[in-house]
Chains A and B, each alone.
Chain A
Amino acid sequence: EAGVAQSPRYKIIEKRQSVAFWCNPISGHATLYWYQQILGQGPKLLIQFQNNGVVDDSQLPKDRFSAERLKGVDSTLKIQPAKLEDSAVYLCASSIGAPGELFFGEGSRLTVL
């Protein structure tokens, strides 16, 4: 069974530029999560989708971050314009929707200069 796929693995941009991350969850997983993990900290939820609808974006900085999950499968997380403090690993995770394991992708490491 294929795992959660993410790309790109690494991205370096200058502040005020834009960047987009892509995630393809495990087939059949209805719930998709984007987490931000700053070095030395635990993952922090940015946004949660159930199928193609947003169920929690309370911690998403909406002035610069946006995300979508078209057709309830792939998802894209965009940052525009980026700030230095956005340097982090962006983790995509999926679950089947019942209580149980979150499956993580390998993450996308963003460095903002």
Chain B
Amino acid sequence: QKEVEQNSGPLSVPEGAIASLNCTYSDRVSQSFFWYRQYSGKSPELIMSIYSNGDKEDGRFTAQLNKASQYVSLLIRDSQPSDSATYLCAVSFRGAFDGTYKYIFGTGTRLKVLA
């Protein structure tokens, strides 16, 4: 059973600080990695995707992937109160039997940015 683990939080950071969110996954078959943001009562929206080892930056967001350690993280610089949400880590892999792409989600980390 493939698993994705996240600390449920809440993670509280002051406005303007760096928020660091972490995620580990259970197997080496996983190929693609995603961070989704979910506001309360809303559906998940993609904020970052990463496919290869290293860092990927997009504005205030940086995703980091280490496949050897089976670890993916999300850094949010200059955190704003509007960043307060649950952040879901998702991993994708190709099914061995049907060849389609599967997506497994972690439980999410609740981030609170304090004004």
Query: In the assembly, what is the distance between CA of A99 and CA of B32, in Å?
Result: 7
Given contacts A55-B98, A102-B90, contact A45 B104 (CB under 8 A): yes
Most-contacted residue by chain A among B43, B44, B101, B106 (CB, 10 A): B43
B51 A99 Cβ-Cβ under 8 A: yes
Of A14-22, A71-79, A104-112, the segment with at least 4 beta carbons within 8 Å of chain B is: A104-112
Q: How large is the interface on A (under 10, 10 to 19, 20 to 34, 35 or more residues)?
A: 20 to 34
Given contacts A43-B44, A50-B100, contact A101 B49 (CB under 8 A): yes
Distance of A45 from chain B, by nearest CB (Å): 7
A104 B107 Cβ-Cβ under 8 A: no
- Our pick among B4, B6, B101 for the contact of A31 (Cβ within 8 Å) is B101
Q: Which 9 A-B pairs have the closest CB atoms?
A: A42-B105, A104-B43, A55-B98, A42-B107, A99-B32, A43-B105, A101-B46, A107-B43, A50-B100
Of the A-B pairs whose beta carbons lie under 8 Å apart in the complex, a sample of 13, sorted by A's number, is: A40-B107, A42-B4, A42-B106, A42-B108, A50-B98, A55-B100, A56-B102, A91-B43, A99-B51, A99-B101, A101-B46, A102-B103, A106-B43
Contacts A50-B100, A56-B95, A98-B101 aside, 14 further interface pairs with beta carbons under 8 A come to A31-B100, A31-B101, A33-B103, A41-B108, A42-B6, A42-B88, A48-B100, A50-B98, A55-B98, A56-B98, A56-B102, A100-B49, A104-B45, A106-B42
